[in-house]
A and B are shown apart, each in its own frame.
Chain A
Amino acid sequence: MKSKIGIAVVLLVVVVLALFLPNFGGRYYTQIFVQVLINIMLAASLRPSLLCGQLNIGHSAFMAIGAYASALLAKNLGLPFELSLLFGGALSAAVGLIMGYPSLRLRGVYFAMVTVSFVEVIRLIAQLWVSLTRGMSGLSGIPKPSLLGMVLTTKASQYYLALGLLVIILLILYRLEYSRLGLIWKSIGMADNLSQSLGINVANYKLLAFTLGCFFAGVAGAYYASFFRFLFPPEFSFLLSVNILVYNFVGGRGHFIGPIVGAAFLTLLVEPFRGSAYETIFFSIAMLLTILFLPGGLITLPGKLAGLWSGSTGSAPATSAAT
Chain B
Amino acid sequence: MALLEARNLTKYFGGLAAVNRVDITVNAGEIVGLIGPNGAGKTTCFNLLSGFLPPTAGSITFNGEALVGLKPHHIVKRGLVRTFQLTTLFLDMTVLTNVLLGLHLSSQRGFGRVLLSLRSFPREEITRTHEVLEFTGLAPYADELAKNLPHGRQRTLGIAMALAARPLLLLLDEPVTGMNLDESQQVMNLVKTIRDRGTTVLLVEHNMKAVMGTCERIVVLNFGEKLTEGTPSEVGSNRAVIEAYLGSGGEHA
Contacts and interface: CB of A to CB of B under 8 A. Distances in A.
Contact of B73 (A190, A199, A323): A199
Interface residues of B, number: 33
Contacts of A186: 90, 93
B92 A199 contact: no
Contacts of B139: none
Contacts of B111: 201, 204
Contacts of A289: none
B119 A178 contact: yes
Contact of A199 (B76, B91, B118, B147): B76
B50 interface: yes
Contact of B84 (A178, A184, A197): A197
A179 interface: yes
A194 interface: yes
B149 to A, nearest CB: 13
Contacts of B106: 198-199
A181 interface: yes
A39 interface: no
Contact of A195 (B82, B105, B118): B105
B88 interface: yes
Interface of A: 178-184, 186-187, 190-191, 193-202, 204, 321, 323
A197 B76 contact: yes
Contacts of A179: 114-115, 117-119
B223 interface: no
Interface of B: 50, 52, 71-73, 76-77, 81-84, 88-93, 97, 101-102, 104-106, 111, 114-115, 117-119, 147, 161-162, 165
A190 B77 contact: no
Tell me which of B73, B88, B115, B118 has the highest count of chain A C-beta atoms within 10 A of its own C-beta: B73
Contacts of B102: 198
Contacts of B82: 197
A198 B165 contact: yes
B117 A323 contact: no
18 contacts: A182-B119, A183-B97, A186-B93, A187-B90, A187-B101, A191-B88, A191-B91, A194-B90, A195-B105, A196-B52, A196-B72, A197-B76, A197-B81, A197-B82, A198-B162, A200-B105, A201-B71, A321-B91
A174 to B, nearest CB: 12
Contacts of B76: 197-199
A197 B50 CA distance: 8
Contacts of B77: 199
B88 A194 contact: yes
Contact of A198 (B71, B105, B114): B105
A180 B118 CA distance: 6
A191 B165 CA distance: 17
Given A186-B93, A198-B106, A323-B92, 18 more contacts: A178-B118, A180-B114, A180-B118, A183-B97, A183-B101, A184-B101, A186-B90, A193-B84, A194-B90, A195-B101, A196-B73, A198-B162, A199-B73, A199-B77, A199-B106, A200-B105, A202-B73, A321-B147
B91 to A, nearest CB: 6
Nearest to A196: B72
Contacts of A198: 76, 81, 101-102, 105-106, 161-162, 165
Contacts of B93: 186-187, 190
Contact of B90 (A181, A182, A190, A204): A190
Given A179-B117, A196-B73, A199-B105, A191 B97 contact: no
Contacts of B101: 183-184, 187, 195, 198
A197 B72 contact: yes
B125 to A, nearest CB: 11
B37 to A, nearest CB: 25
Given A187-B90, A193-B88, A197-B72, A180 B81 contact: no
Tell me which of B92, B97, B106 has the highest count of chain A C-beta atoms within 10 A of its own C-beta: B92
Contacts of A200: 73, 105
A323 to B, nearest CB: 7
Contact of B89 (A180, A183, A194, A196): A194
Contacts of B105: 184, 195, 198-200
